[in-house]
Structure 1
Amino acid sequence: MKSTKLIYMILPYTRRELPGWGKLFENLGGYKSELWKDAPIRTIRGKFHQYLMTLDLSSWHERMTYFLGRYYELDIQKFMIEAVKPGDSFIDVGANLGMITLMAARCVTPTGTVHSFEPNPLVFKRLQANVSNNELQQVTLHNCGLAEGESELTLTVVNEELGMGTFTKIPQQDESLISNQYQLTVYRGDDILPEELPGITFIKIDVEGFEPLVIRGLDRTIQRLHPVILTEVVPEHLERGGFSVKELCEIMQNYGYQPLNISTKRSGLRHHLQLTKLTDNQMTENVLWLHPENNLSSRLEKYFKES
């Protein structure tokens, strides 16, 4: 259609993220999924990590990645660029297609290590392809989900977005959106991860409300290494899993962690990382948890600002 043909003309504008790119993208139909049902598969190199990414433009988040030249969640990537260094370890729980895995692989370099967990078998094949196409020897892939203990659970994929999979209960009003279900075995992360991990350890957990159970299954790793932990905090997702934001905060505080908000601030054409201390009633969608015995603060001191 005309709109989708015109939108390719603004690629130089969106890739540079020039002022007003979002409005231009919207006006030309970038967010209208019905216009992209028959969109092609494209392969590009990420502008931050320079690795190949194969993207299905019919999916809104892959489409955004294509037009930006990077994974669409900028705050997480800016944090990784500044915080994750060669020789570190990164654990990606809920790796999806591997957008964060690729960024982590670039940051830790071949001297570090990345462990990526993705239970959805269809999504895992694409994750495998993204890692294989870039010959990332520092990445170890695990086709399984994590939880508090080993058990058989149902992974439900909601709507046609491959990444929208959850082990939590789907509300009755959303059952019509279910596109697939899988009976899968989940494991304790402590039983899979090696005892020794090089450098500072980072753990990213984005599992649609299952975060507390993943954390409990990483108990030994957390108590031994005091890793930097990044979690998604979405009240509706946590409630589906039988938890609340307050309970998640209590779990993390019992381990001695303090929550921080990750954001970016634009200055001219550049985006700069900002970190702000949070309280229990200030939770944001992506929360960074730091332990006082982790020496990451020295890397990030200049990015802190008063709340």
Structure 2
Amino acid sequence: MGTRPGRRALSRPGLGTPSVRAWLERLLRAGIFRRRLNREINGRDNDDCIDRRCRRFTAEKNSRTIDATDWSIAGHRSSACSQHQVREAAMIARKTARFLLKYASSDPLKLADIVHRRAIEQFRTPPTGLATTRFNGVHYEIDMSLHRLMKKYFFHTHEMFLERIFKRCLAPGNIFVDIGANCGYWSAYSLSLVGQSGEVHAFEPVPQYFTFVRRLAELNPGYRIVANQLACGARPGAFTMAVVAPRAENFDNYDINIGSSSLATGFLDHASELTENLTVEVIAFDSYARERKIDLDRVGLIKIDVEGFESEVFDGMQGVLAKSGRKVPILCEVLTDLNRPEPLDGRRIIERLEDCGYRCLDATHLRPIDRNALGFEENILCL
């Protein structure tokens, strides 16, 4: 894991209350943390791990000696083993923990900051209803009642391991393209980086989520954000999308959440009780870029998060992929599941991008992606 952050890093000003600092110190005992993450990455005894976490928390919560392995549910005041907490624990174990371990291998000091911010999210009470948060001078409005993810948006703890990519790729005057913007979190974050001399082009076809992208533009009139109620794909037309709408019974579900809507055939068939079909308009990004006269040399980053529809999006941006000279940086979530009726194969996407001259890096540790060891969900940075 490399040189790990120690107590000295945790003692600097601004790390919050003594109770939070003590909890962070326990969390960052690398031996415990590393062993726990390795167990989850290897997928061994996952259900038993969740049960042990719940039992340990129940036994220790009164003495407030929460073990480092319980960080995903630390700070909760209600029953430790309620259904939504177990779901959150499983999400942390399978997804975030794996990303954090890889991230820590390349930037262990930054990991301390990530853990600190995660603790703030857990210990502070978020607002209710409509709330506004800020990225520097950019105002971003969200509805806290939509889903538990809104709490992460409000406290700026959503996928923190990706922030350094945005900061490295985007500077004032750049263009950011957000394909699959959902509620506009990364559009707002990027708007603060490209500034008033830059541009953000955001694509979100679901009306309820597009509302927040449009609101982002309304709240920041001094910035240039182009909000498109469209999806990107291989060709223009109207297509059926499986949409996960916000529901009270799905508020705590991270596995199938408001960001899981997909145009990929059969992608959400296993969760049909949580979805509804919606006809959305699709455009090829190459056509959009020509119509808008987008200077590809100004594009600092294209982010693609389309839940299994990645291949179709790339089919519609072959001009971008084939561009000579400087390659347009792309940050893409790729999914791999060969056992589905409509298989998802991240390896083919990586091979396609490499054939176009891109270098594909694992977005967590910024080293070459191992295409033979892909998890279900991987974030790749293509340069």
TM bracket (short chain): 0.7 to 0.9
Matches within 5 A, 1:13-162: 19=24, 23=71, 26-28=74-76, 40-46=128-134, 51-57=139-145, 59-66=147-154, 69-135=155-221, 137-158=223-244, 160=246, 161-162=257-258
CA distance in 1, matches of 2:169, 2:335: 24
* Counterpart secondary structure, 1:104: helix
CA deviation after TM superposition for structure 1 residue 61, in Å: 1.0
Matches within 5 A, 1:206-225: 206-224=305-323
Whether the 8 Å contact between 1:41 and 1:57 is mirrored in structure 2 is yes
CA distance in 1, matches of 2:139, 2:345: 37
Whether the 8 Å contact between 2:141 and 2:215 is mirrored in structure 1 is no
Structure 1 residues 232 and 29: CA distance shift in structure 2, 3 A: farther
CA distance in 1, matches of 2:221, 2:83: 33
Residue 164 of structure 1 corresponds to: 260
Identity of aligned residues (%): 20
CA deviation after TM superposition for structure 1 residue 154, in Å: 0.7
CA distance in 1, matches of 2:163, 2:191: 12
Deviations 1:255-275 (A, max 9, x none): 111111223xxxxxxxxxx42
Deviations 1:195-238 (A, max 9, x none): 44262431100000001110110111232362100110221499
CA distance in 1, matches of 2:227, 2:83: 31
CA deviation after TM superposition for structure 1 residue 76, in Å: 1.7
Structure 1 residues 164 and 24: CA distance shift in structure 2, 3 A: closer
CA distance in 2, matches of 1:81, 1:202: 10
CA deviation after TM superposition for structure 1 residue 181, in Å: 1.7
CA deviation after TM superposition for structure 1 residue 250, in Å: 2.0
Q: More helix by proportion, 1 or 2? A: 2
When the two chains are superposed, the root-mean-square deviation of aligned CA atoms in Å is: 3.2
* Counterpart secondary structure, 1:115: strand
CA distance in 2, matches of 1:213, 1:226: 20
Whether the 8 Å contact between 1:46 and 1:70 is mirrored in structure 2 is no
State the one-letter code of the partner of 1:176. E
Whether the 8 Å contact between 2:197 and 2:223 is mirrored in structure 1 is no
CA distance in 2, matches of 1:101, 1:259: 23
Residue 232 of structure 1 corresponds to: 333
Residue 271 of structure 2 corresponds to: 174
CA distance in 2, matches of 1:70, 1:247: 33
CA distance in 1, matches of 2:340, 2:213: 28
CA deviation after TM superposition for structure 1 residue 54, in Å: 2.3
Whether the 8 Å contact between 1:188 and 1:214 is mirrored in structure 2 is yes
Deviations 1:66-113 (A, max 9, x none): 3xx214111222221232111111110000111100111111112121
Structure 1 residues 63 and 171: CA distance shift in structure 2, 3 A: closer
Whether the 8 Å contact between 1:210 and 1:241 is mirrored in structure 2 is no
Structure 1: runs of 5 or more not aligned: 1-11, 264-273, 291-307
Structure 1 residues 24 and 49: CA distance shift in structure 2, 3 A: farther
Matches within 5 A, 1:277-296: 277-283=368-374, 285-290=378-383
Structure 1 residues 159 and 58: CA distance shift in structure 2, 3 A: closer
CA distance in 1, matches of 2:372, 2:361: 12
CA deviation after TM superposition for structure 1 residue 173, in Å: 3.3
